[in-house]
Structure 1
Amino acid sequence: MEALRAHPFGESGPATHPVLQPERIPTLDILRGVALLGILLMNIQVFGLTEASLDQLIRNPHGGNYWLLTLVYGLFENKMRALFSILFGAGIILFLTKTRSGSGMEAPELFIRRQLWLIVFGLVNAWGLLWHYDILFHYGIVGIFLFPFIRLSPRALLVCAIVVGLIYSGKLYWQFAEQKQKYEKFLPIAALEKKNKKVKLTDEQKEAKSAWEGLVKEHQYDSKADKADVLAMRSDYATVWTHQLPKIKQMEAPFFYQLGIWDVLSMMLLGMALFKWGFLSNRLTTRQYIFLALGGLLIGQAMAWLSLPVHELEIVDFAKYVSGSSLPVADVLMPFERAFSAIGWASLVLLAYRAGVALWLWKALGAVGQMAFTNYLMQTVLCTLFFYGYGLGYFGDLKLYQLYIVVAEVWLLQIVFSLIWLKTFRFGPLEWLWRSLTYGKRQPMRLTEKTPQITPVFS
């Protein structure tokens, strides 16, 4: 680990080469596989159902589907995506401090090329495959910002992660404060109209009234809009594209620059710190992993269940949520809830791996994680073709519990595909394409192909 604290870049020298099989860190692949498969537990809900219909389960809290939604939300919402971001942060250090070979480019140049191509893949995932919750575009941009942080110590990286997490909490609180301000401006207008129904409002009062009522309407169930949403998603590609376009624009522009960047940045910084400490590469003691598993999950889950009533109240009665709360607990705690939970889940996985049980499971998860890029985009392709109208058109047709049957099938398919593929090839197909584009030349694909001679980064 001392090498990671050294100056990472020389003034000259050969450039970085792709990670070869003997150089891979098994636990990184395993954790990446867990995170990748875990992300689908949350994404499947939006792939297969309207968000309005999911909210309706909370407004009518009874039956197995409500409890399933609550359980998945409490255990996995934001946690698996946080772990995925943590691992991407670790990958930044791994890429910039790995061994080198002579391809004519320095590690920094290759890293920027790598991130720019990731942005392109993210745009394809969102605008071509029509997945508006794509994270590749965000990862590509944030990764470039993190380039200078490679030089920081683990403690400094952790401090940066906490600061960014606090900024994220602050942004979420500010959003709530703006909503509360709209409510407080509306109250005297409502009282005035109640007192005199024929009162003539000023333009400023009309604007304030409209702002609050529009906000309330956004949080109410509209059956006609919900049915129209389902109908559009069951239509041809052009119709689905037009319908998804506003959501894609929202996620990749306003949401990202206002909130998403702080979300991704905090977890990637945490991942860089954890990697430098040896947490992700299985270098801590068993006692330390037990402490982190228990502490992370207890604190993270306590925050999650404490936040749950507030989260549900926002959906059930938005006016009561804004008027009766001085602090949006669910939002303010979320950046730290997911960090503690992600560390807890990762520690639990590493403890099970260290125990040496179910070796077949670790091999399977490692294969999925080694091909995480391919498998992430494969999830988009499989789910959009299954649910959207230009495929099988099952959008809005299945109950929540039935969506998890689809999840199990996708998991099985990805595990089997990954294991079979890696018996012949070094990389997943999209990993190979990404690397070839990054290095500007075709990379060795088959296990039997010769690899370039390598020399250490640090001498």
Structure 2
Amino acid sequence: MNIVGFAWPEIVYLSPRAPGGPVPNLPDDILFSAQFVLVDGKFRGLFTLLFGASLLLFVERADARGEGGITLQLRRLSFLALFGLAHFFLLWWGDILFLYAVCGFAVLGMIDWEARTLIRRALIIYAVGTAWLLASNLPAALPWFLPGVEGHQATQRLVEQFDRAAQAETALALGPWTTRLADSVFNHWQQPLVTVANYALETIPLMMFGMALLKDGFFAGAWDTARYRRWAWRGIAGGLVLTLPLAWWQWREEFALQVVFLVGLALALPGRLAMTLGFAALLVPLARSAPASWLGERIIAAGRMAFSNYIGTSLAMAFIFQGWGLAYFARYTRVELLGFVVLGWLLMLAWSRPWLERYRQGPLEWLWRSLVRRRREPFRR
């Protein structure tokens, strides 16, 4: 999903017909709709589940060693927030680390709750967050439904507003890195806080689900196969039932900005939650056999270096698309950008395992761990 955010103005992420984006074409429309149904928010949701589980796992293991798990985790999240801010200001507007750090602080006070309590309260928070996002985005969408001249004029003003913003963003991306940095510092310094405001009530409950599932043995493969299958079937089927009508509505309305805002930022959330949990239940049993295959070993190595691969991807894609590098910004259609996605996958799979054969951790994982523990951690094997 993020490749569009690297290669085009931010608004293009939300609609294949966005101003300042590629010339509208049928393959891009199909790809956007397929990603909306199957990918958008779901894979970020999977990562959020794992992040929540890792918060609890880290504290438990540190406590077992007598190191004070909560204290270490607070320090760990603080440095993660700093890494996230550096990522945002220096490389890319789409940082997610700062959001995860802030939400991690909130979730840390819940690690002693029972699994059932976590799930019940997570559902309540998720429902409140969905309602709040719906209420926040509905006023901007209403002009689309107004008949006659008034609705048309409001829509035209919105398109012109985002067209100007897209042109400015394109100029920044293709200009000097220092100009982009200055714009982030002086004009968009509040963006990480806006991201927290928009996504915290989705992120926090997903982290709570992750902790609950860890407590229940879900990630350890402790459930029987039939139970995983039931969760997978119900989650994926339920998510499709909730999401496919929204995909059809966006297509019918030719991906109008008001519609995609309302759908992507609010109405799609229930389907995302269901499908995220369904995908998780599908993937956990499959992970049991991963170490037995060449590709599985490569994926495991890439996962152990998730932090380095995340920032490394941003660095590679910034070099490809921004003006200080190859300056390929705003050139390729959505379908054509899949080539860069495959390139990113191949790079991660190619370097992660050889690196871990020589070193204990990825470079950023090692730096993060050393900062948290206030000592130089072992690096070479």
TM-score (norm 1): 0.74
Question: For 1:409-458, what per-residue CA distance to the aligned partner results, in whole angstroms no more than 9, with x for missing partners?
Answer: 111111111101111222111111111100111112223xxxxxxxxxxx
SS of 1:150 mapped into structure 2: coil
SS of 2:372 mapped into structure 1: helix
Q: What is the CA-CA distance between 1:241 and the residue it aligns to? A: 2.4
CA distance in 1, matches of 2:185, 2:374: 32
SS of 1:149 mapped into structure 2: coil
Equivalent pair of 1:167/1:262 in contact (CA under 8 Å)? yes
- Pairing 1:57-456 to 2, within 5 Å after superposition: 57-58=16-17, 62-99=25-62, 106-129=68-91, 131-179=92-140, 217-219=157-159, 226-244=166-184, 248-257=188-197, 259-311=198-250, 316-317=255-256, 331-354=265-288, 359-447=293-381
Equivalent pair of 1:299/1:340 in contact (CA under 8 Å)? yes
Q: What is the CA-CA distance between 1:150 and the residue it aligns to? A: 0.7
- Residue identity in the other structure for 1:251: Q
Q: What is the CA-CA distance between 1:267 and the residue it aligns to? A: 1.0
- Residue identity in the other structure for 2:75: R
Specify the alignment match of 1:28 in structure 2. none
Q: What is the CA-CA distance between 1:353 and the residue it aligns to? A: 3.0
Q: What is the CA-CA distance between 1:333 and the residue it aligns to? A: 4.1
CA distance in 2, matches of 1:403, 1:183: 30
Residues 220 and 158 of structure 1, relative CA distance in 2, 3 Å threshold? farther
Equivalent pair of 1:216/1:318 in contact (CA under 8 Å)? no
SS of 1:146 mapped into structure 2: helix
- Residue identity in the other structure for 2:74: I
- Residue identity in the other structure for 1:167: V
- Residue identity in the other structure for 2:369: R
Residues 356 and 417 of structure 1, relative CA distance in 2, 3 Å threshold? closer
Equivalent pair of 1:234/1:388 in contact (CA under 8 Å)? yes
More divergent stretch after superposition (298-307 vs 216-225): 216-225
- Residue identity in the other structure for 1:236: P
Equivalent pair of 1:58/1:316 in contact (CA under 8 Å)? yes
- In structure 1, runs of 5+ residues without a counterpart are 1-41, 192-208, 323-327, 448-459
Q: What is the CA-CA distance between 1:313 and the residue it aligns to? A: 6.5
TM-score (norm 2): 0.88
Equivalent pair of 1:230/1:395 in contact (CA under 8 Å)? yes
Q: What is the CA-CA distance between 1:51 and the residue it aligns to? A: 4.1
CA distance in 1, matches of 2:332, 2:263: 32
More divergent stretch after superposition (291-300 vs 267-276): 291-300
1:46 aligns with 2:5: yes
CA distance in 2, matches of 1:314, 1:169: 23
Q: What is the CA-CA distance between 1:58 and the residue it aligns to? A: 4.0
CA distance in 1, matches of 2:144, 2:6: 33
- Residue identity in the other structure for 1:154: A
Equivalent pair of 1:110/1:439 in contact (CA under 8 Å)? yes
Equivalent pair of 2:99/2:195 in contact (CA under 8 Å)? no
Larger Cα Rg: Structure 1 or Structure 2?
Answer: 1
Equivalenced residues, count: 376
- Residue identity in the other structure for 1:83: L
SS of 1:423 mapped into structure 2: helix
CA distance in 2, matches of 1:315, 1:252: 30
Q: CA RMSD in A?
A: 3.1
Residues 102 and 214 of structure 1, relative CA distance in 2, 3 Å threshold? same
CA distance in 2, matches of 1:157, 1:44: 34
Equivalent pair of 1:47/1:384 in contact (CA under 8 Å)? yes
- In structure 2, runs of 5+ residues without a counterpart are none
SS of 1:134 mapped into structure 2: coil
Residues 183 and 366 of structure 1, relative CA distance in 2, 3 Å threshold? closer
Query: Alignment identity in percent?
Result: 27
CA distance in 1, matches of 2:192, 2:206: 18
Question: For 1:322-360, what per-residue CA distance to the aligned partner results, in whole angstroms no more than 9, with x for missing partners?
Answer: 9xxxxx566544332222212222222223333569622
Equivalent pair of 1:118/1:137 in contact (CA under 8 Å)? yes
SS of 1:132 mapped into structure 2: coil
Residues 123 and 224 of structure 1, relative CA distance in 2, 3 Å threshold? closer
